[in-house]
Homo-oligomer: A and B are copies of this chain.
Amino acid sequence: MAIPSPITPPPIPPTTQLRIDLADRGYDILIGCGLLDHADAVACGAASSEALIVTNTTVAPLYAERLRRVLAGHHARVHAIALPDGEAHKDWDTLNLIFDRLLGEAFDRKTVLYALGGGVIGDMTGFAAACYMRGVACVQVPTTLLAQVDSSVGGKTAINHPAGKNMIGAFHQPLRVIADLDTLDTLPDREISAGLAEVIKYGPIADDDFLGWIEQHIDALRARDKVALAYAVRRSCEIKAWVVGQDEREAGLRAILNFGHTFGHAIEAGLGFGTWLHGEAVGCGMVMAADLSVRCGLIDAAYATRIARLIERAGLPIRGPHLGAARYLELMRVDKKSESGQIRFVLIDAPGQASLHPADDALVAEVIEAHSV
């Protein structure tokens, strides 16, 4: 779908700097335009250290050389590796290509990995950094909206297992996150929509005013209005930083960031990773989770409808694939939030507030049947 750009280009917003507050593992998130050309924004770690840019075959021709050039003045050696693109490749075999390269170049413990790409690249590079020689440094350079508003921040890294999404991974905080808004210019429309799912998420779980703002600006966001995108990325990262700062390892609060993800992960695993984009599955999953919140008597139906309407306006699917409720339930039972076989869902308690709840299988099945094709 081609959406016309606004006729007058918006003024370029200044760089925003946010802090993830985590004692000895705290770090900055930089959000702005043109950051990729500034070594002082991007380069991290010991100046004598070596660097490996991990990217994919789609992003490499767009930004890898620019990043390599800007890092060349800082690191002793800068190499790049382009992995195959897509969620279907977020697996051990692809991860191992990173290890093969690091070991082939005899890269040492001081090496810095730069994750240049979307959520898949960020998750795999972060996990490779967590495991290589039991841990090296990593810088996140997210180039998709989804990665800029969510996955690059907070230190969750993982690969998929055929039985479940993100089942094998580590908490490994980056040294810095650099969200260059200009990289969103090259993103396909489908990826913009997928990223908006994670933006919308922050409204019902943490900030009802933000939900209202997104409703007002959804068309501008889809049209890539830089001012609107800059605010959406900043507010999303602020909320994420606030949550992660209180609960780095998801002992409790952090789970709310998984609103829509329990249903969404089942869609992704059930269809085979990569069939739907992660953001698409989360969008549809939020429709289901909102309806489940209604059926559990937590919110009124109008709020769930409001969320579903916004998700639809973001260009996201609001009906899940037909896998059968039994298959959804089977896939959701291996969710990381499950305990003793009991699935737990992030449900909306009130506008802008969410928490974990168990739910009867029968009720969940009703929701799935009501919202799948």
Q: Footprint of B on A, CB under 8 Å?
A: 48, 50, 76, 92, 96, 99-100, 103-104, 106, 108-110, 130-135, 156-158, 161, 163-164, 167-171, 249, 333-334, 336, 338-341
Q: Which of A100, A110, A133, A169 is the most central at the interface, judged by chain B CB atoms within 10 Å of its CB? A: A133
The 8 Å CB contact of A167, one of B132, B156, B336, B340, is B132
The 4 closest A-B pairs by CB, nearest first: A103-B163, A133-B336, A134-B169, A131-B168
Q: Which of A48, A92, A106, A249 is the most central at the interface, judged by chain B CB atoms within 10 Å of its CB? A: A106
29 intermolecular pairs with C-beta atoms under 8 Å apart? A48-B340, A100-B163, A103-B161, A103-B164, A103-B167, A103-B334, A104-B163, A106-B333, A106-B334, A106-B338, A106-B341, A108-B336, A108-B338, A108-B339, A108-B341, A130-B170, A131-B168, A131-B170, A133-B167, A133-B169, A133-B336, A134-B156, A134-B157, A134-B158, A134-B170, A134-B171, A134-B336, A135-B171, A135-B249
* B-chain residues with CB within 8 Å of residue A164 when the two chains form the complex: 103
Given contacts A333-B106, A339-B109, contact A99 B168 (CB under 8 A): yes
Q: Are B170 and A170 in contact (CB under 8 A)?
A: yes
Q: Which residue of B lies closest to A48 (CB)?
A: B340
Nearest-Cβ distance from residue A122 to partner chain B, whole angstroms: 15
Q: Which residue of B lies closest to A103 (CB)?
A: B163
Cα separation A110 to B334 with both chains bound (whole Å): 13
* B-chain residues with CB within 8 Å of residue A334 when the two chains form the complex: 103, 106
Q: Which residue of B lies closest to A163 (CB)?
A: B103
Q: Which residue of B lies closest to A133 (CB)?
A: B336
Nearest-Cβ distance from residue A44 to partner chain B, whole angstroms: 18
Cα separation A132 to B135 with both chains bound (whole Å): 17
Q: Are A99 and B167 in contact (CB under 8 A)?
A: yes
Q: Which residue of B lies closest to A96 (CB)?
A: B92
